[in-house]
Every structure is written in C-alpha cells, then in structure tokens.
Structure 1
Amino acid sequence: MPRPAAGCVVLAGARVFDPETGETTRADVRLDGSRIAEVGRGLDGPRVDCSGGLLIPGLIDCHVHVAFPRPEPLPRSARVLEAVPVLRGLLVRGITTVRDAWGADAGHKHALRAGWIAGPDLLISLRQLSPTGGLGDGWEPPAGAVDHFGDPSLPDPLFDGPDAARAAVRRMVRAGADWIKVGASGAMRAVREGTDVRPTDDELVALVDEARRCGRDVLAHAHTSAAVVSAVRAGARSVEHGTFLDDDAVAALEHAWYVPTLAPISAGEFAETHRRSLRLAGEAGVRIAAGSDLAPRPHVDLTTELRLLAAVLGEAAALKAATTEAARLLRLDDDRGRIEPGLRADLVLLDGTDLDLTDLPGRTRAVWHDGRRVS
C-alpha cells in the first residue's frame, strides 16, 4: 500500500540541534511535503507541540546488515522476510537512512520504494568482494565451499588478479549495487589466527578504479593498519572497523572516512584497542561516520553505537558522525543530515533538551521520514 502523502506541519517549541556546531537553539520547524520549508520562531501552520523536546536530524547508519544469512539451512525467502521487522525497527528508532554492507539486494530497495514494507532509505553493496581465501570466500574447512546465500541476486564476490577484480565490480553493478564493498583484510578471526588473506595493491587499485568508472564508491573492511593504508591509498572512500590503527593508518585516513563500528566487539578482548584507535583518529581530526555493523542477530543498532562513540568522542561529535558526516560520506549532504530549509524532512524528536545518548530509544518521542510521521 502506498504511503500517505506528506503535508504541511509546524514542529513547534523544541530546541533544534546543529550537528556542525554542536549547539541547540529554540526554533520552530515547518515541513512542507517531503522538505523542510523554514526554521525560525513563531512560524504559521498546523502545529505539533514539541515543547520540552530536542529535534535532531534523522540518523544515518553507514554500516548495517539488514538481511544477514542465518547459520542454519533455511529457504532463501527467510533472509528476505527477516529483513522486514529489522527495517521497520530501525525506522521507528529514528534511523532514516542506512548503507547495507552485505546481504540486502535490489528487491529490498524495490519493496521499500513501492511502500510494500516500511524502513529507512536503503543503499546496498550486495556482497563483500575479496580474493580467494579472503573475507568474501565461503569456503570453510572441512565442509569446503559453503554459500549461505545461494541467491542469484547476490553475485559471486571472488576475484584473483586486477582484471578479475574489475569483473567482480561489474557483476555487483549489474545486480544493482549502490556501493562496492571490498575485504581489504579478512575477518577478525583470520587476523587473530594469522590466516588473513588480503588483496594485492594492484587488485585494490583496479577495483576502486572500476568502481569509479561505474559511478560507484568503495567501502573497505579493514581491521589491520596495513589493510587500512592499502585501501585508502587505492582510493576507498571509507574504511570500516579499523580495529588496530597506528600512526601510519591514521595519517592515511586523512583521505577517507573512518566508520569504526564499536558495537560488535564492545565487550570483547580487543574492545579497548578499538577505542584507542578511535581516540587516535578523533584527536587527528579524521572524518568519522557512524556505523553499527547491525545484523538481525544480535539486535545491535545505531543507538547502541552512538552511546559507545559518545563515551570516546563526546555526545555532539557522536551525533555529528550519524548526521552531517554520514551524509557527506554517502554523498547525500545536499539532501539530508541537517535541519535546514530545502533539505529532506527526516527528523527525530527526543524527550528532554540535552544531548544524553545513554538511552535514545527510550527518549524518542516521534520520527518523521521524508515528511511523514512514522506511526
């Protein structure tokens, strides 16, 4: 069923958060259809009482997995259908735009656009490209080749050599990818065990170049410093995780965004190392965008990630990472990420006027997505 049309409404009496300055000011916000029409005091129009609250831009999660495969064998439709409540849950928490980093396909985007299901705006990367034995390789001893997806909408992600890397990019673009994801390092277990298989520099350069030729940017999974440096030098627009950053990696990140994804290992053995990497990046002025690494299991989302980011960077910087910086990374900053006239009417109303991020779901009073209030 198509979504109801957005109308004209004035969100009155709240304080409005500016992610660029970290400050809040008392103002009304008039929405006209899907856009913010005006920000100021005493605006005319049908009013929604937002007094005692804080308006922030709709949140942007740059690293999610809304349709992750289950470990047990199930029909392909289970992966698709499980994404429905996950997407809905994100939207009601105020997360209005997401970049999926592995698992969602073009069908999820179509269902959202058509109004069949509710959820944030969705950008997809389909699969994690990697060389044989790397992050995207489903071969598992002693079982051998295992593809948890087994889905033609998610093409083969493996490549060996620069030409094969270009072909892998083309397969993803053909299947509808908005972004290209590459495993510049292996998974955390492979890094720990010394079995990490990484692309060569020539492969990474070819992959990024082909993505650019196809009008796409690259996000690079990279735990180690060496992988971060290689990915950024090849031209990746963002680096995900960056668990083990050193001075060389931080210096390289001057030319990319860092999406730290603290939540998945926030209580693990490398949690403090990961926080130290974030502190190094923050102190060096690296551009940081928020990403939760959400998968349907466990239900970790951006509200958890923001609490962890705030503990290292402060509340205002954490919110900036999930609004203006996230929008810049995704090349959407001319459309969303701030509460300004002409931008998308994606907003979240929080109870209270402070920037406390301890319990964002508990504070969320209302959400507007594309000018429509989320029920």
Structure 2
Amino acid sequence: MTLLAGARVLDPETGETTRADVRLDGDRIAEVGPGLDGDGRVDCTGGLLIPGLIDCHVHVAFRRPEPLPRSARILETVPVLRGLLARGITTVRDAWGADAGLKHALREGWITGPDVLVSLRQLGPTGGLGDSWEPPAGAVDRYGDPSLPDPVFDGPDAARAAVRRMVRAGADWIKVGASGAMRSVRAGVDVRPTDEELVALVDEARRCGRDVMAHAHTAAAVVSAARAGARSIEHGTFLDDESVAALGNTWYVPTLSPISDSEFAPDHRRSVRLAAEAGVRIAAGSDLAPRPHVDLTTELRLLAAILGDAAALKAATSEAARLLRLDDDRGRVEPGLRADLVLLDGTDLDVTDLPGRVRTVWHDGKAVGARE
C-alpha cells in the first residue's frame, strides 16, 4: 500500500482539481478522497496529481537518416523510452517503426519505458506513404526486417492481405497512409488509396480485432479515411468544413509539433480550431520522429495555446485513453484504474514547462522517477 497525501487531484473530464489523498494497492488505485490512511505515506503537499500522460502518435524506433546498422534503430529506443517515462508519459501508441519485440522487452523488464502499442508499418499503395522507392535502385525496403512486414498494397484484396501481415507480426493498431507525406502533398503528387481500398482495409482490421489510424494531411484524404471508418485521423493539416463534418465519429490527433515552425503552421492551427469549435474529439500525439526529439510535453504546450491548458491535458489523458479503448483501465484518477500517475510541482494546470514541474512518476503503482 502507498498513500499519496496532500495533493490536489485533477479530474481531466472537467478540468477541476480537488484536495484528496490517493491510496495505491499494487498496480491499481484503491481509493481517492480526503483524510485517507495508509502505509508508505508520500507527502504530495503543494503538488498536483494528474493521470499518467498518453501520447497517441510516437515513433520510438524510427529509422535514422544515417546509413547505420539495423541494431542502431532498436538500441536508440532504450534512452528514448526511459526519457519519456521520466517526463510522465506512461502509455504511447507507436505510429510505425517499433515491432512486437519491443513490447516483449518491456514486459520482461529488460528495458524501462511506457506501455507501447505498435502498428509496425504504415500501409499504403504503390507510390504512396510507406512505399520506399529510389530512382537508382527501385523498390527499397530500408528496414529489411521480417518483424516489420511489407506494407504496400494495390487493390482491396491486397489491402486486406497487408492488414493480415501486420496482425500476424503482432500489430495492435493498423496504420494507413490515407495521404502521402507532406513533401508529396506540397509537390502535388499525393498518391493515396482508393475509397474501396480504405473500406476493405478498415473492414479487415475490424475482423481481426484491430482499429485503424490514418495519416492524412489533406481534407480529401481526411474525408475518405473518416468515411471508411478509421478510428483516428493523424495530422489533419488542411481541414475544411466538409472534412471537419466527416470527423463526427472519429478522433483527431493533430500532431502540431513537427511543423510548428513551418509555413503550414497557421493552416494547421486553424484546422485544430475548426475541429474544436465543431466538437470533434481531440487526442494528443507528438509525432516523435523528428530529431532532436520533441515529445508530448511540447505538443501539450502547442495544443494549450489553442484549446487551453485543461483541454490539452484532457487530450493527453482521459480522451487519449478513450481513443485507444483503454478508458476502463487508465486516463483518470479513479478507484480501480491503473496507478499511472504524475505529481507536478504547483497546483495550477499550466503546461508551459511540464518537464520542469514533474516531481514523481508512478507507473503500474511503482515510483519510476522522483526528483530529489
């Protein structure tokens, strides 16, 4: 038993905080309320307890641009994951690059880090996102790793087969490139799946017990992916009224961080405002791939500038858990849920410098990072 005493506790659904103690029993929250008793008392006076943060779009094992051995991609994940957990990020959804072996290493305790949900590769048609091709060499699979299967498909039946390859290799989620990369969009060469391919892909994912996350920069790609039944739309850089309307039953993960300093940043911020004003469900994701790494704490600062601090924290806790179908297990500070918690210095909701405020992180009820 551990008693976290004297903090204010955030309800991410309302944005309100209340003075309460939190009693932990193993990896679960046992009780929340004032005046609790318990062994292992931790003085949290002057602090704010929030649920462990959830990043819905990371790349913890992204291929490096340098021509390094394949092992470098795997080994780089060790400090990346350790650093994420120390900053209060206790669950992540990897949007391609990490394989099922990483989850095994975390379960076995070989490495430390957040819980990781993997998608393996981002599926797409020939010439689209996920199709590595170079003029001198033709098709090039730079991963060259059987644990990350071939992501390319052409036609609805091939899209179904691609989903099955990912599921066979241990994917928790299916990632599809409903549009091309930003550079392709900018060049006017946006090779993307047909509506029939997207419908088949989403249907096959459901038959396999998986949900689909769809990379989509353009409004047209957002509409196609949302109407096909993707559970979340990633990026959504250039939304319009039609695409926002299509997001009615879909989560929007804006990933503001990677292009926050680019010429498209104003369009991206406008898209988030349009979605928020229309009541679209927004979950937080950092798109961790760029180096030097940005992470969820940067993304929350950018989201808060548009939505406010309380809404940004909700996007990274209860709403993120809801998107990932984990809301019966984490994302709030309530009895019965996972004891994934972060103690921040101060009792306000300001997310401007979350890393500087983190005092202690609990993951599965264990203190994994504590500042002296």
**1:45 alignment partner AA:** G
* CA distance in structure 1 between the partners assigned to 2:266 and 2:10 by the alignment: 30
| Partner in structure 2 of residue 4 of structure 1 | none
1:305 and 2:299 are equivalent in the alignment: yes
**Partner secondary structure for residue 195 of structure 1:** coil
1:180 and 2:135 are equivalent in the alignment: no
Q: Where in structure 2 are the equivalents of 1:65-80 lying within 5 Å?
A: 65-80=59-74
**Partner secondary structure for residue 85 of structure 1:** helix
Post-superposition Cα deviations, 1:326-365, rounded to whole Å, max 9, x if no partner, equal 0000000000000000000000000000011110000000
* Segment drifting more, 43-52 vs 135-144: 135-144
**Partner secondary structure for residue 212 of structure 2:** strand
1:147 and 2:141 are equivalent in the alignment: yes
Which of 35, 46, 51 is the aligned partner of 1:42?
35
| Partner in structure 2 of residue 327 of structure 1 | 321
| Partner in structure 2 of residue 371 of structure 1 | 365
Percentage of matched positions with identical amino acids: 86
How high is the TM-score relative to the length of structure 2?
Answer: 0.98
* CA distance in structure 1 between the partners assigned to 2:43 and 2:283 by the alignment: 31
* CA distance in structure 2 between the partners assigned to 1:142 and 1:310 by the alignment: 45
Q: Where in structure 2 are the equivalents of 1:186-335 lying within 5 Å?
A: 186-295=180-289, 297-335=291-329
1:116 and 2:110 are equivalent in the alignment: yes
Give how far 1:143 is off. Answer: 4.3
Give how far 1:14 is off. Answer: 0.4
**Partner secondary structure for residue 298 of structure 2:** helix
Post-superposition Cα deviations, 1:90-147, rounded to whole Å, max 9, x if no partner, equal 0000000000000000110000011000000000000000000000100033443232
* CA distance in structure 1 between the partners assigned to 2:260 and 2:132 by the alignment: 26
1:29 and 2:29 are equivalent in the alignment: no
User: Where do 5+ consecutive residues of structure 2 fail to align?
Assistant: none
Give how far 1:63 is off. Answer: 0.2
1:64 and 2:49 are equivalent in the alignment: no
* CA distance in structure 2 between the partners assigned to 1:250 and 1:45 by the alignment: 49
| Partner in structure 2 of residue 159 of structure 1 | 153
Q: How many residues align?
A: 368
**2:204 alignment partner AA:** E
* CA distance in structure 1 between the partners assigned to 2:290 and 2:188 by the alignment: 29
* CA distance in structure 1 between the partners assigned to 2:274 and 2:140 by the alignment: 38
Aligned-residue Cα RMSD (Å) equals: 0.8
Give how far 1:297 is off. Answer: 2.0
| Partner in structure 2 of residue 13 of structure 1 | 6
Give how far 1:302 is off. Answer: 0.1
**1:255 alignment partner AA:** N
Give how far 1:298 is off. Answer: 2.2
* CA distance in structure 1 between the partners assigned to 2:84 and 2:361 by the alignment: 11
Post-superposition Cα deviations, 1:247-285, rounded to whole Å, max 9, x if no partner, equal 001000011000000000000010010000000000100
Which of 101, 126, 129 is the aligned partner of 2:123?
129
Post-superposition Cα deviations, 1:205-263, rounded to whole Å, max 9, x if no partner, equal 00000000000000000000000000010000000000000000100001100000000
**1:26 alignment partner AA:** R
User: Where do 5+ consecutive residues of structure 1 fail to align?
Assistant: 1-7
* CA distance in structure 1 between the partners assigned to 2:248 and 2:227 by the alignment: 11
**Partner secondary structure for residue 374 of structure 1:** strand
* Segment drifting more, 278-287 vs 142-151: 142-151
1:340 and 2:338 are equivalent in the alignment: no
Change (3 A) 1:99 1:322: same
* CA distance in structure 1 between the partners assigned to 2:109 and 2:59 by the alignment: 20
Preserved CA contact (<8 Å) 1:86 1:296: no
Which of 350, 358, 370 is the aligned partner of 2:352?
358
Change (3 A) 1:250 1:296: closer
* CA distance in structure 2 between the partners assigned to 1:23 and 1:371 by the alignment: 23
**1:9 alignment partner AA:** T
Preserved CA contact (<8 Å) 2:258 2:290: no
Give how far 1:16 is off. Answer: 0.3
Which of 76, 81, 89 is the aligned partner of 1:82?
76
* CA distance in structure 2 between the partners assigned to 1:24 and 1:148 by the alignment: 48
**Partner secondary structure for residue 314 of structure 2:** helix
**Partner secondary structure for residue 18 of structure 2:** strand
**1:299 alignment partner AA:** H
Post-superposition Cα deviations, 1:286-326, rounded to whole Å, max 9, x if no partner, equal 00000000026221000000000000000000000000110
**2:288 alignment partner AA:** L
